[in-house]
């Protein structure tokens, strides 16, 4: 075989090798990798329209303010203004009610309907009447479980509001330290139970502790929240939705 023939063969092999590399670079994966999906944080929003049940005591009733200034009514108005229609609301609450009083009232009401938003705020009168934390723990747990039942078993439709601190009002200011310490103990119980049941919890107690520095946050009776304070609660709830 001549030298020239050998050179031609070598050149052919080199060209064939380059062609194979180019073909390999053109090959596409048979399966396209799945796109990376970023996690999305979704907060529970009640089905529309809202059917709201508010359970509590004087703080839910709105003692010493007009009905439209109570926090449940202000919350309904805020929801409507945000584009979430409210078809109905029901308030089971009276001034002076303890957990036992609320339980009795719920039983007497004989509620058959279910709701897609239920709130629970109770306990200040247990503290005021020197009832035990053990009793409060048992009663609050039962009330929270009832609230879930009223929400058709949907925990995401239930929320708990902490007990305000009336030590920061003209009525309680002379005994502020003791009242505040006890309110903290009761709130520790309802917060723990709310967390154990996976319920949303809104801590409005710090807002209530502005009452002495900002007198317009306290109603004319010198004890209960004003409509302005209830409005601050609603802002906190709406911002956290």
pLDDT at res. 100: 98
Give the phi and the psi of residue 130 in degrees, each rounded to 5: 60, 35
Label residues 163-177 b or e (16+ Cβ within 10 Å = b). Answer: bbbbbbbebbeeebe
Per-residue pLDDT of the chain (241 residues; tens, 9 = 90+): 544 444 444 444 444 444 444 443 443 333 333 333 333 233 445 667 999 999 999 999 999 999 999 999 999 999 999 999 999 999 999 999 999 999 999 999 999 999 999 999 999 999 999 999 999 999 999 999 999 999 999 999 999 999 999 999 999 999 999 999 999 999 999 999 999 999 999 999 999 999 999 999 999 999 999 999 999 999 999 998 7
Among 71, 94, 90, 74, smallest CA distance to 82 is for 74
Indicate the burial class of 95 (C-beta count within 10 angstroms; 0-12, 13-18, 19 or more).
Answer: middle
Q: What is the pLDDT of residue 240?
A: 86
Enclosing H/E stretch for 171: none
pLDDT of residue 47: 66
Q: Where are the domains positioned within the chain?
A: 50-240
Please state which CATH number belongs to domain 50-240: 3.40.50.1110
């Amino acid at each position: 075989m001549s030298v020239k023939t050998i050179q031609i063969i070598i050149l052919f092999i080199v060209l064939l090798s380059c062609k194979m590399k180019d073909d390999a670079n053109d090959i596409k994966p048979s399966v396209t990798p799945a796109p990376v999906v970023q996690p999305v944080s979704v907060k529970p929003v009640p089905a529309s329209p809202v059917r709201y049940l508010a359970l509590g005591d004087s703080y839910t009733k709105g003692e010493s303010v007009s009905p439209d200034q109570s926090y449940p009514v202000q919350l309904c108005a805020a929801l409507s203004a945000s584009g979430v229609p409210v078809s109905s609301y029901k308030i089971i609450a009276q001034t002076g009610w303890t957990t036992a009083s609320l339980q009795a009232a719920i039983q007497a009401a004989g509620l058959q309907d279910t709701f897609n938003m239920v709130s629970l705020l109770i306990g200040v009168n247990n503290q005021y009447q020197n009832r035990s934390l053990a009793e409060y723990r048992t009663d609050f747990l039962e009330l929270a479980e009832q609230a879930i039942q009223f929400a058709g078993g949907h925990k995401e439709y239930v929320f708990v509001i902490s007990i305000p601190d009336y030590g920061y009002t003209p009525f309680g200011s002379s005994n502020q330290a003791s009242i505040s310490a006890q309110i903290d103990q009761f709130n520790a119980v309802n917060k723990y139970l709310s967390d154990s049941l996976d319920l949303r919890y809104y801590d409005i107690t710090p807002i209530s502790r502005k009452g002495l520095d900002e007198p317009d946050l306290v109603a004319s009776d010198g004890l209960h929240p004003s409509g302005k304070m209830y409005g601050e609660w609603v802002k906190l709830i709406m911002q956290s939705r």
